[in-house]
A and B are shown apart, each in its own frame.
Chain A
Amino acid sequence: MIRLSIPVRQALSKLTLPVLVAAAFGLMLLGKADTLIAERARMALADVLAPIYGVLAEPLASSRAQIDNIRHMFTLYEDNARLRAENNTLRQWQAVAQAVDAENVALKANLHWLPDPTPNYVTAHVVADAGGIYARAVLLSSGPQHSVTKGQIALDDRGLVGRVTELGARSARVMLITDINSRIPVILENSRSRAVLAGTNGVRPRLMFWPEGSPPTEGERVVTSAEANAFPAGLPVGVVHYTSGKVAEVEPYAQLDRLEMVRLFDYGLRGVLPPEASVAKVSAEPKK
């Protein structure tokens, strides 16, 4: 320990705060100038925390389920009535779907249709929220020997969840479609017109840039479009819903507020990846 005189020590201790405030500004500039450093630091921390949160996630999820069960006890009667009605409607739809499916098979056989290749996918646990206040994202625990790459598309059992944006050794971060930075090319299924689905950090992302004269209609299905080579065509996204202020939003099919597992599909699309992502992938490959 270096011995300093008392005035020097006092002067130094008074200087610490201004110096650290300056360092905070420096950090902001550094984070802006070199986004890769911040990303690496984050994912290094996430790699440490993901397994721990992964262990915690299961008991936490089961206790949440218990609370849900207790709540459902009180609405048992209404739930049953609603489910019976829904079941009747679904039975009709099932008949329609089977008929259409059979017709589709017959038509494809007649057309000598080339089937789309089935994409590879891995399933990963969602271990934590990774969005903070001003972003919407989740952290996945992927295990040390994973085949997750940036740009892979995450779906839950119902629809599109988001895309892998950051990658660690044991974890991956998925930006949700509700994030304010998320822009997804979509197709409105009835009119086949293209639009862009923009996140707002709210529960429902907004539709933008649809062609003049074919506005989205309430309840219309929205699926992804292959435009920009970022998504394959036809992944289910959600249904159109107009707010009271006549803003077209999409109610996502995916249960984004209670994600437990997601499937990560590799369609081999690298349309909108930043350049360093492909470099990282190339340099990572020889290790395998």
Chain B
Amino acid sequence: MRAQRTPTIRPNPSLWRRLDVAARMSVPAGLTVAVLLVLAAPFGFPGQPEVQRASALCAVFFWSLFRPTSMPPAAVFLLGLLADLLSYAPPGVTVLVWLLAHGLALRWRRSLVRLGFVLVWFAMVSVACGAAALEWALTSLLTFRLLPPGAAFFEAALGVGLYPIVAVALTHVHQTLAEPDMA
């Protein structure tokens, strides 16, 4: 039945090849989960939770922009849920913020992908600032407490600053490990 659906010009994929493709498709989400879990480990450097969330947001934005088939909304939802549970924040806040970042990346995709790195970074500046501000506002609202905004500024700055590093690393992964055509 599958043979009818696949065009005859392609070789009939073997089980291993299909597994390989599936593994490559799950690299983006898998890597982001790994980043979240590893940066929740007790390294004890200052600002670790901010670094964890900012780098994960960079990864979600990067993959939503450059390989959205491997970072579908459902994956963003689950990643946000994991981040919420790890950070003991009110559940749903990170989910919403990351889904919105994902939606923005999808919307800007056509124009941004053609433009250079610097403009993508500018887009990331607005995403990081918006995400930190929304997170702060929602968390304040849900805990009925005006939280000190310092952490939000720090998180936004980290998101902006970490993006080039994350992007360089992930561009490499994007062209090698996460590329289903290389299976």
Contacts and interface: CB of A to CB of B under 8 A. Distances in A.
Interface centre among A30, A32, A128, A134, by most B CB within 10 Å?
Answer: A134
Interface string B137-160: 011001101011001100100000
A50 B72 CA distance: 30
Contact of B77 (A24, A29, A60, A133): A24
A70 B48 CA distance: 22
Contacts of B43: 60
Interface string B72-97: 11101100111001111111110110
A227 to B, nearest CB: 23
B165 to A, nearest CB: 20
B88 A26 contact: no
B42 interface: yes
Contacts of A257: 44, 46
B142 A133 contact: no
A132 to B, nearest CB: 3
Contacts of A269: none
Interface stretch (B99-107, B121-129, B171-179): B99-107
Contacts of B91: 27-28, 30-31, 38, 41
B102 A129 contact: no
Interface residues of A, number: 44
B34 to A, nearest CB: 13
A49 B76 CA distance: 21
A49 to B, nearest CB: 7
Given A56-B41, A60-B41, A60-B42, A133 B99 contact: no
The prevalent SS among residues of B at the interface is helix
Interface centre among A20, A56, A64, by most B CB within 10 Å?
Answer: A20
Contacts of B139: 134
A181 to B, nearest CB: 8
Interface in B62-77: 72-74, 76-77
Interface residues of B, number: 47
A16 B91 CA distance: 20
Contact of A31 (B50, B73, B100, B142): B142
Interface string A163-201: 000000000010000001100000000000000000011
A172 to B, nearest CB: 13
The prevalent SS among residues of A at the interface is helix
Contacts of A56: 41-42
B37 interface: yes
B182 to A, nearest CB: 25
A21 B42 contact: no
Nearest to B47: A133
B88 A135 contact: yes
A26 B42 contact: no
B162 interface: no
A20 B99 contact: yes
A237 interface: no
Given A53-B40, A180-B147, 15 more contacts: A20-B76, A20-B95, A24-B96, A28-B90, A28-B91, A41-B91, A42-B85, A49-B37, A60-B44, A127-B42, A129-B40, A129-B48, A132-B86, A135-B88, A137-B88
Interface of A: 16-17, 20-21, 23-32, 38, 41-42, 45, 49, 53, 56-57, 60-61, 64, 126-135, 137, 173, 180-181, 200-202, 257-258
Interface of B: 37, 40-44, 46, 48-50, 53, 72-74, 76-77, 80-82, 85-93, 95-96, 99-100, 102-103, 106, 135-136, 138-139, 142-143, 145, 147-148, 151-152, 155
29 contacts: A16-B74, A17-B99, A17-B102, A17-B106, A20-B95, A21-B100, A24-B80, A24-B92, A24-B95, A24-B99, A25-B96, A28-B91, A28-B92, A29-B92, A38-B91, A60-B41, A60-B42, A60-B44, A64-B44, A126-B42, A128-B42, A129-B48, A132-B88, A132-B89, A133-B135, A134-B139, A173-B88, A200-B148, A201-B151
